[in-house]
Amino acid sequence: MLNLIRWLVSSAVSLVVLVAAVIAIIDAARRPERAFTSEGKWTKPIWLLVLGAGLLFAVLGALGMIQIVLNIVAIGPAAVYWYGVRPAIKPYGTGGTRRPQGPQW
């Protein structure tokens, strides 16, 4: 019974870490390059590499190939991006084309 609870908790934590890592790397990929450099952060390619490494650890954790403690390594880059970088670069938008505002008739 205790092993089942431990496995459920470990799986839930691994899944949350994986989702956070995926969302962080998708968000970073959508942001314009100038947003990172204008705000004095690492460049976009460096952030994508760091977040990709975190995503690799998250996938390994979700597959049960690493211990739950190493999920801290996986969530670290995503947490730094989410709370330190994203608020600074958010005003720059996603770099896509501007959609018209208001109702489209």
Query: Domain segments of the chain: what residues?
Result: 9-92
Considering the entire predicted model, what is its pTM? 0.83
* Residuewise pLDDT in 10s, the chain (105 residues): 889 998 898 889 899 999 999 999 999 999 999 999 999 999 999 999 999 999 999 999 888 887 777 888 889 999 999 999 999 999 988 876 655 554 555
- pLDDT recorded at residue 22: 96
Please list, in sequence order, all residues whose beta carbon lies within 8 angstroms of the beta carbon of residue 93, skipping any fewer than 6 positions away.
31, 32
Which DSSP state fits 82?
Answer: I
Note the pLDDT of residue 102: 46
* Angle at 85 (CA atoms; ends 81, 86), nearest 5 degrees: 85
57 close to 74: Cβ distance less than 8 angstroms: yes
Instruction: Specify the pLDDT at position 31.
Output: 94
**Nearest by Cα to 92 from 41, 21, 19, 52:** 41
